[in-house]
Structure 1
Amino acid sequence: MKIFISADIEGVTGVTHWDETEKNESDYRDFAHQMTLEVKAACEGAINAGVNEIWIKDAHDSGRNIDHNLLPKNTKLVRGWSGGLYSMVQELDSSFDALLYVGYHSAAGTNTNPLSHTMNTTLDYIKLNGRYASEFLIHSYIAAYLGVPVVFLCGDLGLCNEVKNINENIVTIPVKEGIGNSTISIHPQLSLELIKNGVEESLSKKLSECKLELPEIFELEIKYNEHANALRKSNYPGAELIDSKVVKFTHNDYMEVVRAMKFLL
């Protein structure tokens, strides 16, 4: 079995402030280490479930956060950013049996993580068909386009609840809850145990039940922090300025939506 793990940091247990996510800050090192350990726990659970090939996308900020030396030898780590369309699932293709997420967080426009955002912090929100779009949803639709099931996610409680509403068969492990600018986190060691067991469980189920269905049409709506940014972005072919800070783009091919986001975000 061959799986793909996409890893972020804002959904890792304990992470509460931007200083804990940024490479040049003194608080960063400990939380990047916990990010690595949570990815390692996911790998161990996958190996217990019979997985023999694991690809990991380091999908936070610089893409250079995970210590590969701490991961199992059957892993390949994608570091940095290629500039390709798939972004946080770079190198995912139809050859993978499953996609898993570690350290993921709630969407921009939601209040369930003090670090809630989608793709970058210059946006008030991204919506797909009227739903606040998390990085989970954006990239899971890419997986659906490729026919790859999404089987597991760990992160904040708000996102886990969203995932269950989308597909109740996906195994979710909430490792923290956001309240205002605070978090309530489970113990780091407990998170590793739960992630390892959760991944093993997720890969032992009927994977086809975890495939997401793509809508027939996609209405992308982006609200920017600055009205000038919205006006500039509205020049993308097919994009429409519908309010002073809001741009809309509609298409029936999700890859065209992904392509549009590459330029609109």
Structure 2
Amino acid sequence: MKIFISADIEGTTGIAHWSETEKSEKDYQYFQEQMNREVRAACEGAIESGANEIWIKDAHDSGRNIEPNKMPRNADLKIIRGWSGHPLSMIQELNETFDAIIFTGYHSWGGSDGNPLAHTMNTSSVNMIKINGEYCSEFMLHGYGAAYLKVPVAFLSGDKELCREVNRINENIATVGVNEGVGNSSISIHPDMAVELIKKGVSKSLKKDLSKNIIQLPDKFKLEVDYTTHGKAYKSSFYPGARLVSPKKVVFETEDYFEIMRAAMFIL
């Protein structure tokens, strides 16, 4: 069994402030460790269910958060660090040969109150993103990418609001909610409990028939990006096919989902 894991940090257990996500800050080390523990737990759950090949995309910020020596050795393990610039972004190297994809440490969408760190992709220039009128999280953007490649989504861990969104998109996807946003605070479960639940959740999810876990893609797509400044919106409106619909909003429409991800690389 060949499994892909995409790992972020803003949905890691207990996280509540931006300083806890940045390598240059003293608060970061603890949450980097917890991120690594949760990714390792996902690997162990996958191995327990028969995975013999695992690819991990370090998908937070610099892409240099996962410590390879803390991952399990008893599988053909590959870790993708840094950013290639490929439109698949947080799921770089995913393709049709994978049996399932797992998301860890993911978080609510920009404009949500489900996480004090809620955002979608760009934290400085983008207020929120919608696809076909629905608020778009980083999970939706990349979960649709997995669907484009016909790869089922087996499991996700992150904040509770995102877990609810995931189950609205596909009720068969297993989720573990480790945090709950309340204003500018978070309420979390114990970090050891999170590790235990992630391992068990991944293991259980991969033992099921995953044919129903492939997200159903719409026939066509309308990407709306609401920017923090009119200047960024104006510049982005020159991307081929994009159009400015208000001083701070750009729209891009297509029937090919890969074109949405390609556009996102340039206009977000």
Aligned to 2:103: 101
Residue among 123, 128, 133 paired with 1:125: 128
Give runs of aligned pairs for residues 58-73 of structure 1, distance below 5 A: 58-73=58-73
Give the TM-score normalised by structure 1: 0.99
Deviations 1:17-66 (A, max 9, x none): 00000000000001000000000000111111111111000000000001
Give the Cα–Cα distance (whole angstroms) in 2 for the partners of residues 84 and 142 of structure 1. Answer: 12
Aligned to 2:252: 249
Instruction: Give the residue type in structure 1 aligned to 2:117.
Output: L
Give the Cα–Cα distance (whole angstroms) in 2 for the partners of residues 245 and 146 of structure 1. Answer: 32
Residue among 167, 171, 175 paired with 2:170: 167
**CA-CA distance at 1:260 after TM superposition:** 1.1
Unaligned stretches of 5+ residues in structure 2? none
**CA-CA distance at 1:185 after TM superposition:** 0.5
Give the TM-score normalised by structure 2: 0.98
Give runs of aligned pairs for residues 213-232 of structure 1, distance below 5 A: 213-232=216-235
The reply to whether residue 135 of structure 1 matches residue 138 of structure 2 is yes
Give the Cα–Cα distance (whole angstroms) in 2 for the partners of residues 196 and 117 of structure 1. Answer: 26
Q: Secondary structure at the match of 1:39?
A: helix
Residue among 180, 184, 192 paired with 2:183: 180
The reply to whether residue 191 of structure 1 matches residue 194 of structure 2 is yes
Deviations 1:74-130 (A, max 9, x none): 221100000111100011000000000000000001111000000111211010000
Give the Cα–Cα distance (whole angstroms) in 1 for the partners of residues 212 and 249 of structure 2. Answer: 36
Name segments (4+ residues, structure 1) moved above 4 Å.
Answer: none
Aligned to 1:31: 31
Percent identity over the alignment? 59
Deviations 1:183-216 (A, max 9, x none): 0000000000000000001101111110011100
Alignment RMSD (CA, Å): 0.6
Q: Secondary structure at the match of 1:127?
A: strand
Unaligned stretches of 5+ residues in structure 1? none
Aligned to 2:117: 115
